[in-house]
Amino acid sequence: MATIAAAGRGNFHAVLSAPSRSREIPESADVYGWLIGSWELEVLHYKAFDVSALGIKGEVHFGWVLEGRAIQDVWIMPRRSERTDDIGKTNNMYGTTLRVWDPAIQAWRIRWINPVSGHREEQVGRRIGKDIVQVGARPDGTPTRWRFTEITPDSFHWIGESLNPDGQTWNLEGEFRAKRMQP
């Protein structure tokens, strides 16, 4: 036991990251593994506003973590090269998602937090047809739905929505177009 503990001391990133998916996750359940890597983001909507005319760019990075039992990402907007000390909270995101495979429900349990704004979400994610759909709720009970659509090996369309109090109408809150960054 002392050998394992000593090997991880001082190397947080090596202890957190994993080279691939755990064998405990069936290949058929690996709906997020294709995301591993870095992506450029074109921001179309954020916080329910059309921001496409502002030309905001972002980035997102995905990797296997926790011995390959989870995928973690970091969503950044504006991208790191454009961030300044005086950036306001309005169009600012530097948050992380942890997606953990849960064999009991045959789906992924998802936790998102953006410390910049305090925004948190809990969801469950599954493949539905050609899309990956995550549904859940905010701490205040507002139902949410996040979708990865138009998926190719090098691009995807991400849509975030919340359910209107009428219980029928989904409100667009976030929309990004992503392209894989070349190494």
Express each pLDDT in 55-67 by its tens digit.
889 999 999 999 9
pLDDT at 9: 60
Give the model confidence (pLDDT) of 133-168 as tens digits.
Answer: 999 999 999 999 999 999 999 999 999 999 999 999
Give the model confidence (pLDDT) of 72-90 as tens digits.
Answer: 999 999 899 988 887 777 7
- pLDDT band (50, 70, 90) for residue 124: very high
pLDDT at 90: 74
Average of per-residue pLDDT across 28-38: 97
- pLDDT band (50, 70, 90) for residue 92: confident
The pLDDT > 70 percentage for the chain reads 93
The domain ranges of the chain are 2-180
Question: For the domain 2-180, what is the CATH code?
Answer: 2.40.128.20
When mean pLDDT is compared across 4-8, 43-47, 50-54, the lowest value belongs to 4-8
Between 91 and 167, whose confidence is greater? 167
Integer CA distances (angstroms), 5 to 25, 67, 142, in order? 25, 15, 42
* Whether pTM exceeds 0.85: yes
Has residue 5 got a pLDDT over 70?
Answer: no
pLDDT at 2: 44
pLDDT at 154: 97
pLDDT at 182: 87
